[in-house]
Structure 1
Amino acid sequence: MMEFELSQNHKQVLELVKWLAKEKLRPLGLECDKKEEPIPPDHPFFKEIKQMGIEIGVMGSDDVKSESRLKSFIGESKEPPMIATLSILAAEILAWGDQGVFMSFPGPGLASPPIRLMATPEQKKIFFDTFKGDEPKWGAFGLTEPGAGSDVARIRTSAKKDGKYYILNGEKMYITNGARAEWVVVFATVDPKLGRAGHRAFLVRKGTPGFKVSRIEKKMGLHASETAGLLFEDCAVHEDFLLGGEDYYKSKEGFKGAMETLNMTRPAVGAMAIGIARAAYEHTRDYFAENYMLNAVSPFAVKIKAELERMKRKLDIARLICVRAAWLMDMKKPNAREASQAKAYAPPIALDVITRCLELLGEEGTLEYHHIVNKAYRDIKVFDIFEGTGQVQRIVISKRLFASKGKPVEWGEN
């Protein structure tokens, strides 16, 4: 049974996250949105949060020691530490502050899950040791291509074996922190005809000959975050940097690694969408509370309160779906269906809530005073697209409606 009551230590962690989101992320995010530029890598903010010990995706080369350190931070308990659930709640709060700034945090980032799932102990040490020290550094996850986004099986970046090296050729796009990353986890195929069985994942370091940044994208929203295109032209990667080594790929482990990475990140994406929408909702709620007599018995007041209640109800439901997916991960249970449910449900709900906020505010909603609402409207749309489109999530969910041999899954079963 899911437990909804947070421990006192968890509450203290989230209070720190709330302070960071309000005092640091939101002002910087609004500033970057006005400039329509990402935060530069040498911005003092990154050193500040590095000194606070805050990075994205840092667990370390030794997961047991790293998890032990995290447990000591949130407090010892006989109960499971609920690290995934705590991370989901923290992700929502940080996105409430500013999602673009949150995505720009230094650390391994989205490269961390595939490293932890697939890499050898030696590879983990090389990768995670990069992030030790006082200087902020970044990692990146290179999966999306011009012809392969949600459909991971269609990746066409090639990896041809040549002696002790793999020669990579291809292009990756929409890579978060791609231009500033020290390491990029790159998915490629040794033979497109093999489909999923041909997938391989490589650890490619910045400055490797044949690896370059093709462009920094200009985006509609999330301006604080850097999004890059990456190009590989006869890029030689030593076989020691094939994640997991050759034996790991005797089955369809490359594709499985990509999918398991997404199962870990999709609930977080849903939670981030909720955070963005909650920022717009709370601004709208407070604006009407301060400027209109909502306690009055009038058709206008009744309508506004009914709309605000509907928004909050939808956000609460979406949050529960995301938390359940994270809870299953904490319980070390399969969560592919629930992860896709979180990703499929939360972003459209968030978009609906933000749209309704703008509609309630009317023309005034486009003005500088309501910057946080119209910014949220531009930030949110991509959440229904990246980490797998809503259509793909519904395919994943539908496949899991039936157990083996076509038997329907009973209510409450995974």
Structure 2
Amino acid sequence: MIHLEVPESLSTVVGQVHRTAEHLLRPGSRRNDRAEHTRPPELDALEPLADSLNTAGRGGRVPDRGVDPGRATGRATSRAAGQVRNGRNLASVLGIMELCWGDAGLLLSLPRLGLGNAAIASVANAEQARRFAGKWAAMAITEPDAGSDSAAIRTTAVLDGDHYVLNGEKIFVTSGERADVVVVWATLDRTLGRAAIKSFVVEKGTPGFEVVRLEHKLGIRASDTAQLRLDHVRVPRENLLGDPEVDVERGFAGVLQTFDNTRPLVAAMAVGVARAALDETRTLLTEAGFTVDYDRAGPRQPAAVATFLDLEADYEAAYLLTLEAAWLADNARPNSKHASMAKAKAGRSATDIALGCVALAGNLGYSEHSLLEKWARDAKIMDIFEGTQQIQQLIVARRLLGKSSAELK
């Protein structure tokens, strides 16, 4: 059973990360929000922290569980009964929560903590893991004609001797300009649908691979979000992640395993932003003369306090779901359903909580006097990227009902 306290083995790292968020990320948050597309000066100092987060709890990669994640309902038996592991997945979500309490945009700008790195950690073989160690990896999935439906990807990969030739366009690529490599999703054969979708590591500077533009965004402005074009880009065949064979029976499952690791990370981002908003609002309530009393029922307290307690309860649910999804991954148990539940709950809750805090704070929340309005803008993306709220609900429904994507659309 999951333990609800931060493991002692990780508490030192978590405390260290929180102090960094408080003293390095938070002070520059407003400046970096206003200076979109300018490289945040804090990144050089933050690189060692990114590396320490990558090594904390190392070994939490989800192994092959021998089951289709789309139908997994039981528990894997690769660990002895009663043996519990708090590994890399739990360490990552705890660290990300703290960093996003400081600034979510800066978290997305940290070298070697990108979603592409999570993809490599999920499906790379031992040789690839060694070769791309130390690289900052972005992940390119979304296309102009393929948003929530990743299976509709039109970027192609054609084998030509010892290389795959990639052609296509990718949009909304986080860290697409600053990263060293980009994990690009492409199809080997459009006629085979989902099963032919594979991911390829494309190194910056490869001929034909270019950044077309940077996006202007509602929130997370400290990070760069790019549009990429691939024009006859030749990628070594050994840069294909996972099995190069197209398995129609298994379908999309091999590629979607990546999301089992990355969706809890996005949920953790949302949880961190939500907690930042709650902490600021608690301070403002206290300064206004309100006391949050946990020994009294909400209806017996001032309306502002009762509302705050409701928002905190929403936060707690998102926080615990996120920890559970990461813990299951570390302990080699199927977590696909829990990853989507955590991402759906945390994404929606962060937006609701941030906007609720803006409302409670009144003019202080809507102005730039505090960071509440910024957190409300930052929170919205957590409900969209890595699979929208609607997609997560669909995935959860499939897992609960034991139906495939073809059976339940």
Check if 1:5 corresponds to 2:10: no
Matched with 1:23 is: 23
Q: CA deviation at 1:58?
A: 6.2
Go from structure 1 to structure 2 and tell me whether the alpha carbon gap of 1:293 and 1:211 turns closer, same or farther (over 3 Å shift).
Answer: closer
Greater helix content = 1
Q: CA RMSD in A?
A: 2.8
Query: 2 CA distance for matches of 1:64 and 1:85?
Result: 11
Go from structure 1 to structure 2 and tell me whether the alpha carbon gap of 1:252 and 1:114 turns closer, same or farther (over 3 Å shift).
Answer: farther
CA contact (8 A) 1:198 1:252 kept: no
Matched with 2:374 is: 375
Go from structure 1 to structure 2 and tell me whether the alpha carbon gap of 1:254 and 1:97 turns closer, same or farther (over 3 Å shift).
Answer: farther
Q: CA deviation at 1:164?
A: 2.6
Number of aligned residue pairs: 380
Query: 2 CA distance for matches of 1:252 and 1:106?
Result: 37
Go from structure 1 to structure 2 and tell me whether the alpha carbon gap of 1:252 and 1:156 turns closer, same or farther (over 3 Å shift).
Answer: farther
Query: 2 CA distance for matches of 1:106 and 1:225?
Result: 11
Letter in 1 for 2:394: I
Go from structure 1 to structure 2 and tell me whether the alpha carbon gap of 1:295 and 1:252 turns closer, same or farther (over 3 Å shift).
Answer: closer
SS at match of 2:129: helix
Go from structure 1 to structure 2 and tell me whether the alpha carbon gap of 1:403 and 1:156 turns closer, same or farther (over 3 Å shift).
Answer: same
SS at match of 1:218: coil
Q: CA deviation at 1:96?
A: 0.7
Matched with 1:310 is: 310
| Segment of structure 1 superposing worse, 31-40 or 8-17 | 31-40
SS at match of 1:358: helix
Q: CA deviation at 1:150?
A: 2.1
Letter in 2 for 1:84: N
Q: CA deviation at 1:193?
A: 1.1
Letter in 1 for 2:205: G
Matched with 1:394 is: 393
CA contact (8 A) 1:57 1:109 kept: no
Q: 1:98 aligns with which of 103, 113, 138?
A: 103
Q: CA deviation at 1:108?
A: 5.5
What is the CA deviation profile of residues 73-98 of structure 1, one whole-angstrom value per residue up to 9, with x for unaligned ones? Answer: xxxxx852343223222211111111
What is the CA deviation profile of residues 151-209 of structure 1, one whole-angstrom value per residue up to 9, with x for unaligned ones? Answer: 11111001122233221110111111111221111110122111012212211111111
What is the correspondence of 1:118-129 to structure 2 with a 5 Å cutoff? 118-128=123-133
Matched with 1:202 is: 200
CA contact (8 A) 1:178 1:227 kept: yes
What is the correspondence of 1:7-406 to structure 2 with a 5 Å cutoff? 7-40=7-40, 43=41, 45-52=42-49, 54=51, 57=54, 80-107=85-112, 109-128=114-133, 131=134, 138-244=136-242, 246-247=244-245, 249-250=246-247, 255-294=252-291, 302-370=302-370, 372-403=371-402
SS at match of 2:362: helix
SS at match of 1:369: coil
CA contact (8 A) 2:35 2:222 kept: no
| Segment of structure 1 superposing worse, 374-383 or 299-308 | 299-308
Letter in 1 for 2:258: T
Q: CA deviation at 1:256?
A: 2.8
Query: 1 CA distance for matches of 2:61 and 2:322?
Result: 24
Q: CA deviation at 1:385?
A: 0.8
Letter in 2 for 1:197: A
Per the normalisation by structure 2, the TM-score is 0.85
CA contact (8 A) 2:197 2:255 kept: no
| Segment of structure 1 superposing worse, 389-398 or 83-92 | 83-92
Letter in 1 for 2:95: A
SS at match of 1:204: strand
Query: 2 CA distance for matches of 1:295 and 1:26?
Result: 25
Letter in 2 for 1:18: H
**Ranges in structure 2 where 5+ consecutive residues have no aligned partner:** 63-82, 405-409
SS at match of 1:332: coil
CA contact (8 A) 1:280 1:376 kept: yes
Q: CA deviation at 1:294?
A: 4.1
Q: CA deviation at 1:117?
A: 3.3
**Ranges in structure 1 where 5+ consecutive residues have no aligned partner:** 68-77, 132-136, 406-414
Q: CA deviation at 1:21?
A: 0.9
SS at match of 1:240: helix
Letter in 1 for 2:400: L
Matched with 1:411 is: none
CA contact (8 A) 2:86 2:327 kept: no
